[in-house]
Chains A and B, each alone.
Chain A
Amino acid sequence: MIKAAHKTGLVFFPAFDWAISPTHPEREERLLYTQDQVFEEGLFDIEGITEFKPDLVTTQDVQRVHFCVPDLWHVMTESHFISAGGAKTIGMAVMDKQVDRGFALVRPPGHHAMRVVHGCRGFCNVNIEAIMIEFLREAYGVGKVAIVDTDCHHGDGTQDIYWHDPETLFISIHQDGRTLYPGTGFPNEKGGPTSQGTTVNIPLPPYTSKEGILMAAKTIIKPILEDFQPELIVNSAGQDNHYTDPITHMNFCAQGYAELTRLLEPDIAVLEGGYSIEGALPYVNVGIILALAGIDYSKVKEPDYDPEKIRQKPEIARWVEEVGKITLENWQNRHLVKAQALSKNEFEERTRNVFYDTDGIMEKQKETLRVCPECSGSLQIDSASDSGHHILAVHIPRKACSTCQETAYRWYEAANPKQYDQVFMQDRVHKKYLQKKA
């Protein structure tokens, strides 16, 4: 009989009664054939593979990460509480050592959800990985965490949440932003002034196949992970790099995903995108589960798999080499660049527009960060959306110094509630989540 080499926990929550809209890719049917395949393969019967029932996240789990506008109940459905809860359940099972590794096969996904949430973008409302990680940090005292986002789309939401966090390494490998939503994720996006280098972006050209993605994993991701020495590796396991995916243009396959999982050795994997619901997901998910558990996956293949048909062009290998050079150099130079940033102004501002494609909302943000030499720095975000909401969000990071804490409270108290619909305070040091209204 089969036995898992690594005890592996699974939360399987296909949300068979939830959809963004009836014909949306994020619909009831999405994990139906995955369920069929996982059940038919009898994966839950394998010794060492345990299925867990997802817990729901609490409102505080969400408040720890997000500023929801106008409030949590407007941006979350029950399904979001469960999908984030599924990730949390797996995280706890790993931390409690009930299992060595875990995979939250849940929907809806979350990696496009940023710190401020006005609605749904890229099918995501709340960031389920960030909610899990911040819970684990608070409950178990976890420090350094690495997130490797292998979804075909740039994980811009996760990048945004951890942009200023030097303790969280965020690596995203994805189809070139010039050719795909959300249009970001270039190597020069390296993190904020106080956390230079802990954001790593590896864009790949369309039609990259197994060879190119595994090469990037081996030559770029692995060395950086080894250097960073995280306590926990989280894989945002999107499955839309697949050659049959209807909304992307890559040539990855089930064998490739299994191999990638074996290489990355994530403690926790969380399902993100992937919309080839019949041709890819059933096989990719079985491959990932077997690879996590350390069981032979060599016979897991798509029925129409033909490596010749999806072989990448030789120039793609040269591209990977090139991107590798740039990103590794960025990584090596991160301390130097950070030191330079710290010697500049005390406060740094950035303004940007965020588009919520799924809900059709445009948001304007002005972010002010205290560029602190002692901690990662408090920040405030002035955010206004064309849906008519205007808020001010103040964030005190987990390990904020006393000056940053004082600065943040000054911001919060000085904010005139008449000027905003709401003013939020996210005080991670004292676990206080305040808000005021006129």
Chain B
Amino acid sequence: MIIGLDVGGTHADVVLLGDEGLLKEIKVPTHPENLFETVLSGLERVTAGVDLKKIVRVVLSTTLTTNAIVQGKLPPVGMVVSSGPGLDPEFYRTGEDFFIIDGSIDHRGREIQPIDTDQVLAIGRQFKTRGIRFAGVVGKFSIRNPAHELAIGNVLQPYVEKIFYGHQVAGSLNFPRRISTTYLNTAVYPLHRAFYSAVESSLDARGLHLPIRILKADGGNMNFESSIDYPGQTILSGPAASVMGSIAFARPGIDSMVMDIGGTTTDMAILADGVPLLDPVGIEIGGFKTLIRSLDTASIGIGGDSELRYRNGNLSIGPVRHGPAMAYGGSTPTPTDALCLLEDLPGADRQRSFHGLEPLSAAMGMPVERAAAEIFELTCRKILEQAQQMIHRTNSKPVYTVHELREGYSVKPSEILVLGGPAPYFAKYLEKFSDYRVRVVPRWKVANAIGAALARTTCEVTFFADTERQISSAPEENYSKRIGKDFSSRKAVKKALKLLKKKAIDLGANPKYLETEVLEEMQFNMVRGFSTTGKNIRVKVQIRPGLIHGYDDLIRRISNRDQPGEGYDQSRT
């Protein structure tokens, strides 16, 4: 059996899955100030009366790190940065304990200026006196040669508890993002470690020895032990959970949009033939641009409970939410109230919605029912417009070869998969106002938790070789090796895949089913004077996001039973 738990803004969804399908689904209210209690009560309730020995994994997706960043509640940590020529690194200061030191490496990984040990030593002592326990070390071009970062770390080691290295947080070139990513990893580390250790020991104390995994923003998971070294990857896992809960139901052979319609926001993602697209660079959160691998998701400020206002002849929807819709006891009219007049919503107080919409309809100069229809249509149209923009953004991303530009692969979604509380109602109208075929994801209310439960372990490896300098490396994996002049991109791919498999298994992947993929394979002849002096090789491989092996039957069962009927195509199951 598998447990999936996804903490959202208002409640946490928890599911228990077994061979028979979805065994249990529960919702517990989220206490933003006490996520620990939220997670624990969710796990306790879902395991009540269950034979614990049968639980093979528990996947958690929480807003712990995300909230800390967005609310600016990060503890002070130390940053040591070496840059060399270029933009002034002072631009990227993360706080008071941010030190810029000597030393530089160039784009080929050659040392331009050595580091100054005494300088680092002095910083270490300062960290100690100031009570800085965690530090990040980042160098420009450190993924081409991590020697400086490692040397700096060596000097700092006696003065701090844990050090995060820029070359280990991501394999892409982008010094400012490497700084912010390393910083975020360092800053959320104590919180992350304390939280999950507490969850584990608390469960242990109650006799629940559950193997915990944590969902990442790229829609994959990792085991708890591994997450200690990559706490930053847990940031923004929420949208990934919803996407992973939908992919099993995407129609094969076409592109789809996923829309998770919540109370405050609608999160969107694109599936290319069932495979979620990854963000080409990394997460942006709380003013930080990072290299954290993530699914490409867009969040817009329109949801079922968005505030409706009418001003200067214009109806505005969101981005604020003041609480539930009036139909459910709230105080501000919302799209849900409009819907309440159009459809028969369970447990809704139609009268309250009607009264709430009256002032708006008066301003719009039409009867309440017609105003409701217009409001809901506008809500749907705005969501569709944003979806269109997301598709456009995806298709206008630059490419750097003639081949890619000519092939011009672009996504053209023709269906929308909707999940989230009001999914069936929205689906009907989204279909009416667009050319998309719109379907509701089975178990739409907890599909996100199902997605978390069934996500496979993912990871990425970046490999670099320079046959002129006779070096090869995968800095994130602490791998570097001398190579011969005859090294080739083919050999590089082989090596990278080997490293990838090892990494995936360490993170908790099932060794029998590793779906590897080559993302990038480039080989350049290096010519100096008029002769070829070597090859410059860049390779990127990944375990692509998807669902774990062996649960096809389970997914079939989930889709078969208790269908909402509206918009969902039964024929596929």
Q: Which residues of A contact B (CB under 8 A)?
A: 1-2, 11-18, 22-23, 27-29, 32-33, 35-37, 39-42, 45, 51-54, 56, 77-79, 82, 246, 278, 282-283, 286, 290, 295-296, 298-303
Contacts and interface: CB of A to CB of B under 8 A. Distances in A.
B107 A40 contact: yes
Nearest to A25: B527
A12 B398 contact: yes
Contacts of B285: none
Contacts of A18: 401-402
Interface centre among A14, A16, A286 (most CB of B within 10 A): A16
A17 B106 CA distance: 24
B176 to A, nearest CB: 4
Contacts of B140: 40
Top 9 A-B residue pairs of the complex, sorted by shortest distance between their CB atoms: A42-B176, A39-B173, A36-B107, A303-B112, A40-B173, A17-B401, A301-B85, A53-B398, A29-B524
B106 A303 contact: yes
A282 B84 CA distance: 14
A28 B175 contact: no
A79 B402 contact: yes
A246 B527 CA distance: 12
Given A2-B91, A15-B401, A39-B174, 19 more contacts: A1-B91, A14-B400, A15-B402, A16-B400, A16-B524, A18-B401, A23-B531, A32-B536, A36-B141, A37-B107, A40-B86, A42-B289, A45-B177, A53-B398, A54-B398, A82-B402, A298-B88, A299-B87, A301-B85
B85 A27 contact: no
A78 B405 CA distance: 10
Given A17-B402, A286-B86, A40 B531 contact: no
Nearest to B526: A29
A76 to B, nearest CB: 12
B479 interface: no
Contacts of B522: 16
A82 B86 contact: no
A295 B527 CA distance: 33
Interface in B123-167: 140-141
A35 B91 contact: no
Given A18-B402, A42-B175, A302-B85, A23 B107 contact: no
A378 to B, nearest CB: 37
Contacts of A283: 85
Interface string B75-96: 0000000001111100100000
Contacts of A79: 402
B396 A53 contact: yes
Contacts of B406: 78
Residue from A17, A283, A286, A301 having most chain B Cβ neighbours under 10 A: A17
A299 B88 contact: yes
B106 to A, nearest CB: 6
Contact of A40 (B141, B396, B398): B141
B388 to A, nearest CB: 18
20 contacts: A1-B91, A14-B400, A18-B401, A22-B527, A23-B527, A29-B525, A36-B173, A40-B107, A40-B141, A42-B177, A45-B174, A54-B398, A56-B405, A79-B402, A278-B108, A286-B86, A299-B87, A300-B85, A301-B85, A303-B85
B104 interface: yes
Given A22-B527, A299-B87, A41 B402 contact: no
Given A23-B532, A40-B107, A42-B175, A29 B397 contact: no
B572 interface: no
B174 A32 contact: no
B403 interface: yes
Nearest to A82: B405
Contacts of A15: 400-402
A298 B84 CA distance: 12
Nearest to A45: B289
A127 B141 CA distance: 36
Interface residues of B, number: 42
Contacts of B399: 53
Given A17-B403, A27-B525, A299 B174 contact: no
B402 A78 contact: yes
B87 A290 contact: yes
B287 interface: yes
Which interface residue of B88, B289, B397 has the most chain A CB atoms within 10 A?
Answer: B88
B398 A45 contact: no
Contacts of A301: 85
B530 interface: yes
A32 B106 contact: no
A295 to B, nearest CB: 8
A276 to B, nearest CB: 11
Contacts of A51: 398
Contacts of A1: 91, 287
A354 to B, nearest CB: 26
Contacts of B402: 15, 17-18, 77-79, 82
B482 to A, nearest CB: 21
B396 A35 contact: no
Nearest to B177: A42
A41 B87 contact: yes
Contacts of A246: 529
Contacts of A11: 398
B398 A52 contact: yes
A139 B176 CA distance: 39
Nearest to B403: A17
A87 to B, nearest CB: 15
Interface in B512-553: 522, 524-527, 529-532, 536
A79 B403 CA distance: 10
A42 B140 CA distance: 11
Contacts of A77: 402
Contacts of B91: 1-2
Contacts of A17: 401-403
Nearest to A39: B173
Q: For B173, B399, B531, B536, which residue has the most chain A Cβ atoms within 10 angstroms?
A: B173
B324 to A, nearest CB: 37
Contacts of A14: 400
A53 B177 CA distance: 22
Contacts of A22: 525, 527, 532
Contacts of B398: 11-13, 51-54
Contacts of B176: 41-42, 45
Contacts of B107: 33, 36-37, 40, 278, 282
Interface in B346-377: none
Contact of B175 (A2, A40, A53, A282): A40
A17 B406 CA distance: 12
